[in-house]
Amino acid sequence: MAEISAALVKELRERTGAGMMDCKKALSETDGNLEKAIDYLREKGLAAAAKKAGRITAEGLVESYIHGGGRIGVLVEVNCETDFVAKTDEFRTLVRDIAMQIAASRPEYVRREDVPAEVVAKEKEILAAQAANEGKPEKIIQKMVEGRIEKFYKEVCLLEQPFIKDPDITVGQLITGSIAKIGENISVRRFVRYELGEGLQKRQDDFAAEVAAAVKG
């Protein structure tokens, strides 16, 4: 498989407006062929969806989700362009799924750009120390850190988490697919998650696992 350069990913992004991860995947799937990658993104509806990403989203819903008889609670604001779309069953289902995702997977931020620089720097410091303690040579520690920081983003950023109902796609890809179907820009603005007894010194049940099991069951 051809090596995918950052410059090629950048060019594909500029030509399609699709997200970085989608561009990387498209190029990987097409062995680095730019034109085929453009076709790939168009077939998936990702290029068209990306063009809508700059539109203002001032409508939408604030959805609540309560799990386990009140042990976990989520409030999430998801925006769209029109009140008409906000009232559709498809949009409401999407927002509900996002709320359940937050309950089950405990994201801390919406997207990686929201993660404070000092948090990323501290995480990299910890990861570098872990790699050093594993006896890894200095020359490959940096590469290991970069790989592990990507995993960190997938754990703490909502849009990069595997979707609980279909782990083959991310939440970001779920939203992109909805944008392509609905025809409006959709964005997650903010969320808050509460878990009963969180931070208190008491026995902690795996509430998140219960939510995930309820979704699958």
CB distance 14 to 47 below 8 Å: no
Amino acid letter, 163: F
The CATH number of domain 59-108+160-216, selected from 1.10.150.120, 3.30.470.10, 3.30.420.40, 3.30.479.20? 3.30.479.20
pLDDT tens across 196-208, in order? 887 775 554 565 6
Which of 106-115, 132-141, 144-153, 199-208 is predicted with the least confidence, judged by mean pLDDT? 199-208
CB distance 171 to 161 below 8 Å: yes
Residue 24 DSSP SS3: helix
Q: Would the pTM count as exceeding 0.85?
A: no
CATH number, span 6-51? 1.10.8.10
- Spacing of C-alpha 134 from chain mean position: 30
CB distance 78 to 94 below 8 Å: yes
Helix axes 89-105, 207-216, angle to 10 degrees: 140
Which CATH architecture best describes the domain 116-155? Orthogonal Bundle (1.10)
